Amino acid sequence: MTTPSITVRGLLLDMDGTLVNSDAVVARIWRGWAAEKGLDPDEVLRVAHGRQGHLTMATVLPGRPMEVNYAENRALLAKETADTDGIVPVPGAPAFLAAVRDLPHALVTSASPGLATARMAAAGLRMPQLRVTSEDVSASKPDPEGFLKGAAELGFPAAECAVFEDSAAGIAAGLAAGMPVIGVGPRAPEHRPTLHVPDLEHLRLEPLADGRVRLTATAAGAA
């Protein structure tokens, strides 16, 4: 967190924790799963943020057959998709998405297409036209594949795209992709993003004449 602003051409947006506050649902689903397995719910939640479910299971239950993780994750994913109680937009997200409507941007999420659609709709947020979901990659965050694919879809080099993320896995993925990372929310600072804002109300977005976008953290904030 050494620069007050970032200037880029493309914007790559995580969903959960960055645009959508889904913490209540994530906690309900994963605490329940952890209790069934006799695991520490806090530790499971720490691992779960920003990752595909089967990788969370593989991390906290090492050595368990992956086919079991895949099967259990399908069941949990169905529960998560159906459970939208308590889902709200992150402060500033509606105005931010309105501000970037005509700028190059993409959603890059570890969620499935169905889960992403359900949560964006529950939060009342516009779904970006370009999306990279769990079905579009072979490796989940913290692997940089999703962000690199998003940059390629936008048509820009990785270094000319900014990642918006909240989780350890997501921030690590963005940095591994060679991209500046704007950390959003309370979980982000400890993972050393390039820039940090408490929410999207604390980010100023300035389209420049050459087509680039300047992103600046502010005290009061405005998208």
Which amino acids are annotated catalytic?
A: 14, 16
Q: What is the DSSP string of the chain?
A: ---SEEEESEEEE--BTTTEE-HHHHHHHHHHHHHHHT--HHHHHHHHTTS-HHHHHHHHSTTS-HHHHHHHHHHHHHHHHH--TT-EEPTTHHHHHHHTTTS-EEEE-SS-HHHHHHHHHHTT-PPPSSEE-GGG-SS-TTSTHHHHHHHHHHT--GGGEEEEE-SHHHHHHHHHTT--EEEESTTSGGG--SEEESSGGGEEEEE-TTS-EEEEE-SS---
